[in-house]
Structure 1
Amino acid sequence: MKKRNLRRVGAILLATTMLAGCGTKGQDATSANSGTDTAPDTTNSGGSTDGGAATGGDTQMTTDNITLTYWHYEDETTINLLAEKFMEKYPNITVETRVIEDMSTDLSAAAAAQTFPDVFSGTDSDTALANMYWADITDYVENDPETANLMPTIEEYGIGKFDTSRRFAMPTYYQPSAIFIDRNVIEHLNLEMPRTDWTWSEMIDLIKAATVDDRTGMKYYGLGYYNRLDSLYGIAACSTAERAIKGEFGFDGNDFDLQYWAIGEQEFSDLKLGGYVAPQQNTQQMEDWSGDWSTWFGSTGHVAVFSEGLWSFQNIWNTEGYQEQYGLDIIPYVTPNVVDEKEHNVIGNMYMGGVSTSCEHPYEAYVLLKFMGWGVDGWNERIKIYSDTSITNASGVPLKSSNMPVPITLDSGVWDGFKSLFPTDEDHKQYWDDYFASITRPVPYGWYNIAGYWNFCDQYFNNIGIHDLVDGGQAKAATYVEEATRQANYYHAEAMISYFGPSGYDVLSPEELEKYEAIVSSF
């Protein structure tokens, strides 16, 4: 048996263990395009709201020589190159960048030393909000014409507003979840590739059908996962008419309902206990299966369906010669809806970035935040950088294979360039077009956009080990629904009062404050 020894860890620098409901925070889609998905499009193709000389054509920009600091979690080489392009556009502004190692520690130290960054993008919104690190940027965003052409859930769900009327952050880095299928495995097992507008039950059926152990060779598993299925299920679980879910654990902007999570959690556990899920890397089970402790299931050619992030394709499967070496034909699939609803949301990593409350040049800092995050000008520069594979980072990796984000602008020129970085041959292009059409309504993992979410995970959910108990067959997910819902609503209400009440940003209405206080007092 040929050993497949892919050490995946180094290739995925910004993602940590098994993203799911209350999985580890990242340091870091489900019918096909059906006519109601928002396809990347439309206006201002390749255009810009800026342009010109010292102020880039923006009369609000200062002409003074200033320095702005930008702290981030992205690939260091990519951000440094973007900073150079920003400084070419605004020659009076010097940009200094830094990679954040630990958000809470680094920002606390900077605050104590009075060296706080002007702009920062991070993974832990609770830290930023609890310390009032982010300034209110509502007026900048609402008066910026480019924000009218962003993915629609950013405005619809108030992503970066944290369920208030004011905006404190904007998404600066987006990496959606993804389902992939190894077509070679499907063909080997004499199964049929599903339609791209498949349903959740069809996906589960395929996972079970593709789990084959004839005892004569290496077993075929139906599923390999990085992203747990319960988080995917929770976003796709019901129609908007039933409950307008806009966050994990059935969160609808007012409160939580964990009954949807529990169904997905139990189904995932049943798959694991039933032997349908491939072993994880660096485990005895992996060595027993593949012959090598360090094998990654995605390199074996013996797994049919993968619950991953888009980064797994970019950073690994899409690197030159990789699929050929391991006999793979990896196809992207839309993360299926549980119900046949064409308005399609998809969960993903979505770092939030903002202007610090200590910044002396907040408008200029906002323009920098936009350039580095969602702006068309910045994304046009990103496409140039990613398209040139001779440009590598310190590890020698081409930048498109180093956690390249997905644009949140819908600008057609940007999306044409972005799509060109993925397979465009006749045999694969339609799959990719369907996938890209399905990821334009993002829902961030909870810790990015729900106040108090990580407090709930850390102090209740993870503290009693719910994932492990259910995965191990020691408990049923439904057992925790009532109490976990009560706990989640408490931690959210407590955080809303703390962050946005009179002792915080003070932006809650009397009615909102009364509602949250009632939840806390009844706990």
Structure 2
Amino acid sequence: MRMKKIWAFLIAAVLFSVLFTGCSESGKKAASDSKKDNKVTIKFHSHGNEESYNWKNTIEAFEKKYPNIDVELAILSEKGDTQEAAKKLGLAAASGEQMDVIMFSESASYSQNVSMGMAAPLDEFINEEGYKVTEEYKVDTQINGKYYALPGKFNPWFVLLNKDHLDAAGLTIPKDWTWEEFMDYAKAMTRDGHYGTYFHGPQNGSWLEYLRLALASENEDSEFTTEGGKSNLDHPLFKKTLEMRVKMEKEDHSAVPYEEVLTHKLHYREQFFTQAASSIIIGSWINAELGGTELNPLNFNVTVAPFPKNEKADKGGYTPVTTDYMAVAAKSEHKKEAYTFIRWYTTEGQIIQGKNVPSWNKVSNHDISIIIERILNGTKNPEKIDKKSLIDVLTNAKSSKFVSPVPNQAEIYKVLNEEYEKLIFGEQNIDRTIEVAQQRVHEILSNNQ
């Protein structure tokens, strides 16, 4: 009887042990499954390819810091073609594809997609975090009082100068200058065999930045239209730009003639790198080529000056800027996680990516120096670049207040291009150019309403 009781006890103990182990394993599996269920995958649509944006290392760094968020990257153009990317983005949206993070390549695309309801407002997240976008970043992305994106890279325009031509003319490197001084420099550097400067636009309704040079130096009202969708062509600084272009080409003979630009299909790269022009006004995307490439070798010294301002007393530093607009998709089911990614990417993520100067104001000069060093070292002759001037210009550049592009902006660009050609080819004077352009642009804007 005693043995039966012992055997019964042992059998019960074994059964209890098996049952407890089974429950314990089930509990562990349930906890593991629950942890897995808490992980979120967000889909990120980008026009940027791996070569230009170093996505693999960048996304790995984000996922290491935020292990509960996986980022699925959808590259919309392996060539980095923004037009191809825009078409594919539209198709993806129309097909109902998952969208959480969207990268827009320029302001017109950003504004248009916001008006179509593709991007979600970020103000709730921004207010919760407690920062001001204009203090945190160099680029203001506000549209109609709301923020729909945070800015990534910071590509301001500046003036590239042939340092050898500068020295030959007895000129110092400009640290703070006006458009009048820019004109004087171009005239002084002009010699037999080369011009003082080259303007790459307007051409075929594009590169219209070259018709708003003086406007672009201002903090506000820096575009051809106002925030209210009205024409800004009666602004005196639009007239000032036209006057400057005519004087430099027709009187000073310091700028490459517009007719040559069109007839010979000239390009800013070959004009600068072959020393046909002593200076060019261009965006800092050219940093990756500054030290020369196989196609455009560098055989002279290069320095950089800030985008000129209008008056000596002006604050200065304002310039056209291109950036990537990082938005959260309006239809995303993971808006918080998507915002977490774009906030990280537009701050410390830009430093880790190491391909561009960030729009983030809190990046240190040391970090910018490292990024610039890395970019220039990818060129053939980085030692010929005045790195200090380049870094000074990039760190002090500022974006003007954002003006939402109008729906028919391409038509306006075409009109301005046509009227400028009539001016520069002597078919009408400056006042007539402004008058006709104003009438035609007003008609386009009226049709938008």
TM (norm. structure 2) is: 0.73
Counterpart position of 1:112: 94
Which of 65, 68, 73 aligns to 1:97? It is 73
Q: Does residue 381 of the first structure (1) align with residue 363 of the second (2)?
A: no
- What is the CA-CA distance between 1:248 and the residue it aligns to? 1.2
- What is the CA-CA distance between 1:182 and the residue it aligns to? 0.8
1:53-88 CA-to-partner distances (Å, cap 9, x unmatched) read: xxxxxxxxx972222111223342412321122122
**2:43–2:71 Cα contact (<8 Å) kept:** yes
**2:154–2:356 Cα contact (<8 Å) kept:** yes
1:261-301 CA-to-partner distances (Å, cap 9, x unmatched) read: 232134224434554334799976479xxxxx997112113
1:298-326 CA-to-partner distances (Å, cap 9, x unmatched) read: 211342221111122x2212358999x54
Q: 1:422 to 1:320 in 2, by over 3 A?
A: farther
CA distance in 2, matches of 1:95, 1:368: 9
- After superposition, residues 14-413 of structure 1 pair within 5 angstroms as 64-77=38-51, 78-101=54-77, 102=83, 103-122=85-104, 123=106, 124-145=109-130, 150=135, 154=139, 159-162=140-143, 164-188=144-168, 190-213=169-192, 219-226=193-200, 228-236=209-217, 245-249=220-224, 251=226, 255-258=230-233, 259=235, 260-273=237-250, 275-278=253-256, 285=264, 296-312=270-286, 314-318=287-291, 326-340=298-312, 341-372=314-345, 374-376=346-348, 378-382=349-353, 386=354, 404-413=355-364
SS in 2 for 1:91: coil
- After superposition, residues 418-433 of structure 1 pair within 5 angstroms as 418-422=368-372, 428=386, 430-433=388-391
Deviates more, 1:128-137 or 1:297-306: 297-306
Provide the identity percentage.
Answer: 15
Q: 1:418 to 1:153 in 2, by over 3 A?
A: closer
- Amino acid corresponding to residue 248 of structure 1 in structure 2: E
CA distance in 1, matches of 2:261, 2:241: 26
**2:357–2:371 Cα contact (<8 Å) kept:** no
1:456-511 CA-to-partner distances (Å, cap 9, x unmatched) read: 4323341572343334333344335456557767877987xxxxxxxxxxxxxxxx
CA distance in 2, matches of 1:180, 1:253: 34
CA distance in 2, matches of 1:284, 1:468: 13
SS in 1 for 2:340: helix
Q: 1:426 to 1:461 in 2, by over 3 A?
A: closer
Give the number of equivalent residue pairs: 382
Q: Aligned-residue CA RMSD in angstroms? A: 3.6
Counterpart position of 1:457: 409
1:354-402 CA-to-partner distances (Å, cap 9, x unmatched) read: 1111100001001112223x222x13312xxx3xxxxxxxxxxxxxxxx
Larger RCO (CA under 8 A, 6+ residues apart): 1
- What is the CA-CA distance between 1:139 and the residue it aligns to? 1.0
CA distance in 1, matches of 2:317, 2:93: 41
> Which of the pair is proportionally richer in helix?
2
- Amino acid corresponding to residue 209 of structure 1 in structure 2: A
Q: 1:161 to 1:326 in 2, by over 3 A?
A: closer
- Amino acid corresponding to residue 462 of structure 1 in structure 2: K
CA distance in 1, matches of 2:435, 2:136: 34
CA distance in 1, matches of 2:65, 2:103: 21
Counterpart position of 2:17: none
Greater Rg over alpha carbons, structure: 2
- Amino acid corresponding to residue 191 of structure 2 in structure 1: V
Q: 1:109 to 1:182 in 2, by over 3 A?
A: same
CA distance in 2, matches of 1:283, 1:484: 21
- What is the CA-CA distance between 1:420 and the residue it aligns to? 2.9
**Structure 1, unaligned stretches of length 5 or more?**
1-61, 214-218, 238-243, 288-292, 387-403, 496-519
Counterpart position of 1:478: 431
- What is the CA-CA distance between 1:125 and the residue it aligns to? 2.3
Counterpart position of 1:39: none
- Amino acid corresponding to residue 458 of structure 1 in structure 2: A
- Amino acid corresponding to residue 164 of structure 2 in structure 1: N
TM (norm. structure 1) is: 0.64
SS in 2 for 1:71: strand
- What is the CA-CA distance between 1:201 and the residue it aligns to? 0.4
- What is the CA-CA distance between 1:431 and the residue it aligns to? 2.1
- What is the CA-CA distance between 1:166 and the residue it aligns to? 2.0
- Amino acid corresponding to residue 186 of structure 1 in structure 2: L
CA distance in 2, matches of 1:381, 1:88: 13
**Structure 2, unaligned stretches of length 5 or more?**
1-35, 78-82, 201-206, 374-381
CA distance in 1, matches of 2:393, 2:368: 13
CA distance in 2, matches of 1:489, 1:282: 29
**1:70–1:119 Cα contact (<8 Å) kept:** yes
CA distance in 2, matches of 1:140, 1:473: 55
Q: 1:350 to 1:429 in 2, by over 3 A?
A: closer
- What is the CA-CA distance between 1:410 and the residue it aligns to? 1.8
- What is the CA-CA distance between 1:412 and the residue it aligns to? 4.4
Q: 1:347 to 1:166 in 2, by over 3 A?
A: same
SS in 2 for 1:185: helix
CA distance in 2, matches of 1:427, 1:355: 39
CA distance in 2, matches of 1:477, 1:79: 48
